[in-house]
């Protein structure tokens, strides 16, 4: 009887491990548009580990930083439902740029995703933030107005 117990435990553990391995090895989306949709869906649900499977190493680091910021927030306040109204992807060899029109919380805005094809798999890559002095000055002026400080601009 004892041998049956060990056999049962062994089979149970084998099946459990096989299911976990299958989940990790499930087919990843592999067109730029499908990757963008899946990646964003994972982010919307705070499934960062799944999003990392569709990310370059640099993007994984950015996702870790985002996770560290939002992990202190109530989980229901960080769940989104992004709807893609348009996705236009342009590919050039192993690079893709997807310009999107998205909507969440009844707000529409444009977003851009940069992708790289590494070892045959399209992955979301981190994008460099471009410094926009005009918007930064406007933001600084807005903050000063809020604090009732005089603006630095001179007439």
Mean predicted confidence (pLDDT) in 23-42: 88
The per-residue pLDDT for range 56-79, each reduced to its tens digit, is 999 999 999 988 988 888 776 677
Kindly tell me if the per-residue pLDDT of 41 is higher than 90: yes
Question: For the ranges 57-61, 67-71, 87-91, 150-154, which has the lowest average pLDDT?
Answer: 150-154
Query: What pLDDT does 32 receive?
Result: 98
Work out the mean pLDDT of the chain and round it to a whole number.
76
Within 8 A by CB and 6+ apart from 109, the residues are 101, 102, 103
| Domains of the chain with CATH codes | 2-146 (3.10.450.100)
Residue 15: enclosing H or E segment and its boundaries?
A: helix 2-24
Cα separation, 132 vs 126, whole angstroms: 18
Is 82 in contact with 44 (CB distance < 8 Å)? yes
């Amino acid at each position: 009887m004892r041998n049956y117990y060990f056999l049962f435990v062994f089979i149970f553990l084998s099946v459990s491990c096989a299911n976990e391995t299958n989940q990790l090895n499930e087919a990843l989306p592999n067109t730029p548009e499908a990757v963008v949709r899946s990646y964003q869906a994972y982010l919307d649900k705070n499934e960062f580990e799944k999003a990392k499977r569709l990310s370059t190493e640099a993007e994984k680091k950015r996702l870790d930083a985002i996770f560290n910021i939002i992990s202190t927030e109530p989980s229901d306040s960080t769940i989104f439902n992004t709807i893609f109204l348009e996705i236009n992807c342009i590919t050039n060899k192993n690079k893709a740029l997807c310009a999107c029109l998205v909507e969440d919380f009844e707000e529409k805005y444009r977003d851009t995703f940069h992708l790289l094809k590494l070892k045959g798999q399209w992955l979301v890559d981190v994008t460099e933030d471009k410094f926009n002095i005009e918007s930064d000055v406007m933001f600084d002026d807005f903050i000063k107005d809020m604090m009732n400080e005089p603006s630095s601009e001179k007439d």
